[in-house]
């Protein structure tokens, strides 16, 4: 039974991942995520139901549209696989519970933010502005985080990046961090609480620096070519969900 439930959690995540692909493609274009049905971006043909099975259809079609034979981006099955894997990991951690669904919705929003930021270097307000109060309320009333911890996390999360962005621009005379990152960390801090912020800032800064230097080395570009910070904040928040208890015991409690 446990194996079956794990499989169902994976399938559920993959199905949601297919919808997240729609959001990633359409939200920056400011078009409906409901209508019209999914179509090939090259030839415009509607995608048949049998060709819209998460992950599997991409493999069976050989990564090509059935109608025009143009290539399908590997990003579609990747998003589905990431969402499915996270759904399984969250199910193993929380079992079939309210916490599972709340954390899954949170991670799904972070996945959409990550890929939109990678593609367009923007974090849509339509995700973060409602997300700040909604995830704050979810943390307090559903996850049962003390409201003081969530409120401090919200204010300190957004305020920290605001100050970093302000002083960076003051010193370098150019923008180094967008308002979207500030709102994103406010949303994350409000949901996970202030105790998460040190871990998230250290994790995201370290991984961002390592990957940023690697990209600049490969592309032979200097520091003026910025990479989006949203994906690193999102990855750090997801890592905290699974590693946060160990972090708190080690650094805040001392064992």
Q: From 77, 96, 115, give the residue that closes a domain.
A: 96
Is the pLDDT at 29 greater than 60? The verdict is: yes
pLDDT for residue 47: 85
pLDDT for residue 59: 93
Q: Number of folded domains in the chain?
A: 2
Judgement on whether residues 7 and 62 belong to the same structural domain of the protein: yes
DSSP symbols for the chain: -HHHHHHHHHHHHHHHHHHHHHHHHHTTTT--SSSS--B-TTT-PBPPGGG-STTHHHHHTTTB-TTT-PBPPTHHHHHHHHHHHHHHHHHHHH-SSHHHHHHHHHHHHHHHHHHHHHHHS---HHHHHHHHHHHHHHHHHTS---HHHHHHHHHHHHHHHHHHHHHHHHHHSS--S-HHHHHHHHHHHHHH-GGGHHHHHHHHHHHHHHHHHHHHHHHT--TTS---SHHHHHHHHHHHHHHHHHHIIIIII--
Judgement on whether residues 165 and 200 belong to the same structural domain of the protein: yes
Q: From 68, 96, 124, give the residue that closes a domain.
A: 96
Judgement on whether residues 36 and 62 belong to the same structural domain of the protein: yes
Q: Is 65 left (phi over 0), alpha (psi -120 to 50) or beta?
A: beta
The position carrying tokens 């100050």 is 163
More confident residue, 6 or 225: 6
Judgement on whether residues 61 and 127 belong to the same structural domain of the protein: no
Judgement on whether residues 109 and 173 belong to the same structural domain of the protein: yes
Judgement on whether residues 55 and 180 belong to the same structural domain of the protein: no
More confident residue, 123 or 66: 123
- pLDDT-derived band at 66 (thresholds 50, 70, 90) equals confident
The Cα diameter of the chain in Å comes to 60
pLDDT for residue 251: 61
Judgement on whether residues 197 and 84 belong to the same structural domain of the protein: no
More confident residue, 101 or 45: 101
Q: For the chain, report the end-to-end CA distance as a whole number of angstroms.
A: 36
pLDDT for residue 248: 65
pLDDT for residue 224: 53
Full domain range(s) for residue 15: 1-96
pLDDT for residue 237: 97
pLDDT for residue 175: 63
pLDDT for residue 177: 64
The position carrying tokens 């199905």 is 15
Q: What is the mean pLDDT of residues 138-158?
A: 96
CA atoms within 13 A on the CB side of 216: 13
Judgement on whether residues 70 and 138 belong to the same structural domain of the protein: no
Judgement on whether residues 176 and 246 belong to the same structural domain of the protein: yes
- pLDDT-derived band at 189 (thresholds 50, 70, 90) equals very high
Q: From 61, 96, 131, give the residue that closes a domain.
A: 96
- pTM for the full predicted model: 0.91
């Amino acid at each position: 039974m446990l194996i079956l439930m794990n499989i169902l959690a994976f399938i559920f995540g993959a199905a949601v991942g297919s919808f997240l692909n729609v959001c990633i493609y359409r939200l920056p274009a400011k078009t409906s995520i409901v209508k019209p049905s999914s179509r090939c971006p090259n030839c415009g043909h509607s995608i048949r139901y049998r060709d819209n099975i998460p992950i599997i259809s991409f493999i069976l079609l050989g990564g090509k549209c059935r109608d025009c034979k143009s290539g399908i981006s590997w990003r579609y099955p990747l998003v589905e696989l990431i969402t499915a894997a996270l759904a399984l990991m969250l199910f193993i951690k929380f079992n079939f519970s309210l916490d599972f669904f709340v954390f899954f919705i949170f991670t799904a929003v972070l996945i959409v933010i990550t890929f939109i930021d990678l593609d367009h270097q923007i974090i849509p307000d339509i995700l973060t502005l409602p997300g700040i109060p909604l995830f704050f309320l979810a943390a307090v009333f559903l996850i049962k985080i003390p409201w003081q911890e969530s409120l401090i996390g919200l204010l300190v999360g957004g305020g920290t990046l605001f100050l970093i962005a302000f002083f960076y621009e003051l010193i370098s005379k150019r923008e180094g961090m967008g308002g979207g990152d500030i709102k994103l960390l406010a949303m994350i801090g409000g949901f996970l609480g202030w105790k998460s912020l040190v871990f998230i800032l250290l994790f995201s800064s370290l991984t961002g620096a390592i990957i940023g230097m690697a990209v600049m080395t490969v592309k032979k570009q200097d520091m003026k070519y910025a990479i989006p910070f949203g994906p690193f904040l999102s990855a750090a928040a997801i890592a905290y969900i699974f590693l946060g208890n160990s972090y708190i015991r080690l650094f805040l409690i001392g064992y």
